[in-house]
Structure 1
Amino acid sequence: MAGELAGRGAVVQVNTEENPVLATRFGIRGIPAVLLLEKGKVITRQEGALDRTSLLNWFLNAVK
């Protein structure tokens, strides 16, 4: 997905067991959770597994 997202965003993976403060800060209740942030604030979120195409479409629709 890096090619499709080039210049539009960055993907960061966080282990919630190793970083419980972040999990609490962003209200992560289940895994996987994908959050779209802008300036440190959650713009939208997706909880639950998505296939690659659905995840890419979710992101592209969210950044319109």
Structure 2
Amino acid sequence: MSEPMTLACPHCHRRNRLPGERLDQAPRCGACKEPLFSGAPVDLASAQFNAHANADLPLIVDFWASWCGPCRQFAPVFAQAAATVEPRARLAKVDTEAAQDLAARFAIRSIPTLLIMHRGKEVARLNGALPPAEFQRWVDGNLPRV
């Protein structure tokens, strides 16, 4: 039996604790009873960000803005990746216009900017959009093992 790990619910953002081997068994949130994995990125505002970024489950963040052409082009690639990357990681989108404090905190100078966070620390960063295969290679090469 593996060590218990914490992860935040994509719906109510409450922290959940479960054994690592249960990640691929369609776990549900203990508070709101919704699935902990939806196969889609979660939109995060400043208030919910830390619950996901400080979890044991790695967090892949797309910092974007609605006016950004490359961000809009990359959005379907990022959304499709959620179905293949979960439950190894959670994918999240942060609108830099709505969460300017997060953009400043992570020194986001260009968008899209992709970060991989694990237990509150940034472990990888990439500026710019990628085609699906290259994005998957970047994720696979930088994603911490849980």
TM-score where L is the length of structure 1: 0.89
Among 36, 45, 64, which residue is 2:125 paired with? 45
Specify every segment of 5 or more residues in structure 2 that has no aligned partner in the other structure, as ranges. 1-80
Which residue is 1:2 aligned to? 82
Instruction: Flag the structure with larger Rg.
Output: 2
One-letter amino acid of the counterpart of residue 121, structure 2: K
SS in 1 for 2:95: coil
Among 135, 140, 144, which residue is 1:55 paired with? 135
Name the count of aligned residue pairs: 64
Measured on the aligned residues, the alpha-carbon RMSD in Å equals 1.2
TM-score where L is the length of structure 2: 0.42
Instruction: Report the identity percentage.
Output: 33
Aligned-pair CA distance for 1:49: 1.2
How far apart, CA to CA, are the structure 2 residues paired with 1:2 and 1:12? 9
Per-residue deviation, residues 24-64 of structure 1 (Å, max 9, x unmatched): 11111110010000112110100011111111110000126
Which residue is 2:19 aligned to? none
Specify every segment of 5 or more residues in structure 1 that has no aligned partner in the other structure, as ranges. none
One-letter amino acid of the counterpart of residue 108, structure 2: I
What are the residue-to-residue correspondences of 1:15-30 with 2, within 5 Å?
15-30=95-110
Runs of 4+ in structure 1 deviating by more than 4 angstroms, as ranges, are: none
